[in-house]
Chains A and B, each alone.
Chain A
Amino acid sequence: MTDIIPGTLIGRPIEAASVRKRRRGEMWLKAFGLVAIGLALSMLIVLILSLVSSGYKAFTQTHVTLTVPISAERVDPEDIAGSSWRGVMKDAAAATLPDASKEELKVFDDLISDGAKQIVQARVTADPALIGQTLTVDVPVSDPFDQLNKGLIDRATPEENRRLNDAEIALFDRLDEAGLVRQKANWTLVTQADSRFPELAGLKGALIGSFYTLGICFLLAFPIGIGAAIYLEEFAPRNRFSDFIEVNINNLAAVPSVVFGLLALAVFINWFGLPRSAPFVGGLTLALMVMPTIIIATRAALKAVPPSIREAALGVGASRQQVVFQHVLPLAMPGILTGTIIGMAHALGETAPLLLIGMNAFITAAPATPFDSATTLPTQIYIWADSPERGFVSRTSAAILVLLGFLVVMNGLAIYLRNRFERRW
């Protein structure tokens, strides 16, 4: 029997230095792990903060209050659209800035947006009784002045490097002092379609385009995906043919999205002659892309339904299809829907295949049907990200925030469904 000597283990001294070294090694590993997690999380934070800080400015727009005399000489009630709206705007400039010089009036013409004319015209068209009266209306200012008001143009920069010269800034300040400048919520962002002018550009076309595209995608991918999953999970004989289909689906899930765009361009547009830029073709393409996701999710959900359900139904005389469609499928539905929503969220953010089928066209009207030319949210973001105007930078961020908002809602819905309805057997 060895004596128990403190500081030793089975008679041998513990090598204190070595233990300390090993502990230190473990500490380092933990520290590195924490640093890695910190890095990943901080990237997410930087991503979101930079988008929010650049995007929130696009949710407001600088407006100027115009006084517009609608004189009967300028506007003909019989032919409102053909009237001299340029003349009306000239009157408006003179009425808003009563004692302005000719140069100042010219600067003022640049200051208000090109869309001001349409706004006034639309008001008068809606209410012809306004002819002969004086109208007060808030119109957006053009992009550089909007930037100035939001502090994105530095007044301290030398004039030759600034996007606005001293005269322009002076006029803007004069309007500001007169209390005519107002920062208002930018509803244009959701009520208008795309435009060359940032202050008039909105997401309406892209939102409707995305809606149609996702709708078509869902109508095709959901039934076909479920049908395929039910066949493979419940009815397919275990043979080479079924294996071949399975391998196909798994590989399809990993094909780069841009390849689906090439498929759509060559087959749907070039061979079948379907229209370019149409949400219908976009939906068709995305349906092929998300189908593997839906099939895989559906199979997992079907597998989770316990065999006792099937056996009970078979026992009371249901046919195999009745078992699946009347008993197993309803029980698997929450899981299927969760997978489908996640697939749809993925499709909503997908850009590359849609670019190839021409959904990045410049379109100033919202599509009326799924066969009209349209953009979608991500392709609109791509168009704006590529635009040189400064005003589109914050609008791109705003559009991204809208897109991320939709994704958060969809994923939240999927998580809710999973927690609320999914049963553990």
Chain B
Amino acid sequence: MTLAAFAVLLAATVAAYALNRMAAARIIAGGGRLHSLESFHGGFAALVVGLPVLVLLIVWLLAQGPVIDRMVMNGLPPGVLDGMDGGQRQLVLTEISSVARGQVFGEPEEWKLAAAERMVRLQGTSSLMMLAAAAILALGLLFYARSTVSAEFRARQGFERIVNGLMIFCALVAVFTTAGIVLALIFESIQFFRMVPVHEFLFGTRWEPQIAIRADQVAGQGAFGWVPVILGTVVVMVIALVVAVPIGLLTAIYLNEFASKRFRGWVKPVLEVLAGVPTIVYGFFAILVVAPAVRSLGASLGIDVSPTTALVAGVVMAIMLIPFISSFADDALTAVPRSLRDGSLALGATRGETMMKVMFPAAIPGIVGGVLLAISRAIGETMIVVLAAGIIAQMTINPLDSVTTVTVQIITLLIGDTEFDNPKTLAAFALGLMLFLVTLAINILALRIVRKYRELYD
């Protein structure tokens, strides 16, 4: 039925184009002079018919599920839902819809079967109504569009106004996305902070989110202090930067100043491959190769190393960050005016001295911007730490201990049970909000530093 509705949409759009174009062509054949080309008459009609019908279909499809759910739940026999909380009602609804899809498990009560039947009926009615509404709207618009064709009608202006509106809408999608992220995170976080006080979240030093969701589960009381989680994130990030920054900077310095053109043209793309490898691959590499290597190295030194360590996660993350930092530093060094370099060389400084005492200090702002962006990447990086770092939050800065990070917690909290009415799930959104704010602040700072510095030399 949905397919049929979209077929109506397509047919109406094509018909609108063809009809108006032919009508316009007839005016020309009759010796008239059109204001706009025939194709603009056709295009205008296609947009006038196609867009409203498309919007109608999308809104209908999005709205029909929740509306039908509500109607079914309200139509249940009185009394059966008494004493149920939100989660149990949700479960009843899930069962009814799975019965309605034809998946019957066990022997549902009579009223559930009746409700499922009602749901199937309502769904059928809804799709029929959607098809009818789409067809009526399309017909009406077809007639309207056809009536616009005349020699004086400014079809091109109409068409271009609509296209312009469409392009503005496209540009606004980015704004909607940001708004959606902020609203979703804040909305769910407010719910979380209703259950867990803000100060407990911000300053608590225990993170034990494994609480019971159903009554029959055995679990702890739950504690939501994010300090150990952010500490773990910082530990992993610092390890990653300690490894990646020197390697990245030295690479950039060599490639920028000393490397031959051929060497540079060969090494740079190869390094960029490291940046293109998906992070899940790095994560698997960490548990396949790096973690066992670190463990056996630790064993040979007589140190007990846990299977998931901050060190492994940090080092593997560093591999990912090296090309990022080196290409940023390379750009910053290239942006330093040539006159500075030539001046230094002319005064008799070696190329090494020029690099370390003139070029590098001049490029520092750009490099700092790059390192800041690398920090924000390291904080937001997910799959490496999900596989290579631990799940248990500990207050430790020992790189050989298992630590957890903000992103790991978001993933582990949201895989499996996701009911939106318990602090365990909502905690992930609070963490997500913090992650979003921190990375946003770092990004804005970094972009500002980079931009300011660019203006300085341009």
Contact = CB atoms under 8 A, between A and B. Distances in A.
B353 to A, nearest CB: 7
Contacts of A41: 267, 270-271
Given A266-B188, A352-B383, A396 B258 contact: no
Nearest to A242: B171
Contact of A39 (B66, B247, B407): B247
Interface in A230-271: 230-232, 235-236, 244-245, 248-252, 254-263, 265-267, 270
Contacts of B270: 41, 44
Nearest to B289: A50
Interface in A27-70: 27, 29-30, 32-37, 39-41, 43-44, 46-47, 50-51, 54
A351 B353 contact: no
B170 to A, nearest CB: 3
B174 A252 contact: yes
B170 A385 contact: no
Contacts of B428: 262
Interface stretch (B117-125, B201-209, B440-448): B440-448
Contacts of B284: 381, 385, 396-397, 400
A159 B278 CA distance: 40
B220 to A, nearest CB: 23
B155 to A, nearest CB: 12
B449 interface: no
B254 A252 contact: no
A302 interface: no
B383 A262 contact: no
Nearest to B173: A224
Contacts of B173: 224, 228, 288, 291
A interface residue count range (under 10 / 10 to 19 / 20 to 34 / 35 or more):
35 or more
A286 to B, nearest CB: 12
A407 B278 contact: yes
Nearest to A295: B174
A265 B414 contact: yes
A351 B279 contact: yes
Contacts of B164: 231, 235, 321
B418 A25 contact: no
A232 B443 CA distance: 22
Interface string B318-329: 010011001000
Contact of B380 (A43, A256, A291, A386): A256
Nearest to B440: A251
A227 interface: yes
B281 interface: yes
A54 to B, nearest CB: 6
B442 to A, nearest CB: 9
B174 A228 contact: yes
A355 B415 contact: yes
Interface centre among A25, A249, A262, A350 (most CB of B within 10 A): A262
Nearest to A245: B171
Contacts of B353: 22, 25-26
Contacts of B407: 256, 258, 352
A411 B273 CA distance: 10
B16 interface: no
Contacts, number: 252
A78 B178 CA distance: 61
Nearest to B425: A265
Nearest to B273: A44
A319 B154 CA distance: 13
B254 A33 contact: yes
Contact of A258 (B163, B170, B283, B382): B382
Nearest to A30: B258
Contacts of A44: 270-271, 273-274
A212 to B, nearest CB: 17
A267 B251 contact: no
Nearest to A401: B281
A75 interface: no
Contacts of A258: 380, 382, 407, 410-411, 432, 435
Given A26-B350, A228-B167, A263-B184, A256 B379 contact: yes
A29 B356 CA distance: 9
A43 B386 CA distance: 21
Contacts of A205: none
Contact of A37 (B62, B174, B251): B251
Contacts of B303: none
A33 B271 CA distance: 14
A355 B411 contact: yes
A225 B351 CA distance: 45
Interface string A358-380: 10100000000000000000100
Nearest to B352: A26
B432 A25 contact: no
Which 8 residue pairs spanning A and B have beta carbons closest together? A256-B380, A33-B254, A349-B278, A26-B352, A227-B170, A36-B250, A231-B167, A266-B184
5 contacts: A30-B258, A36-B251, A227-B166, A256-B380, A382-B387
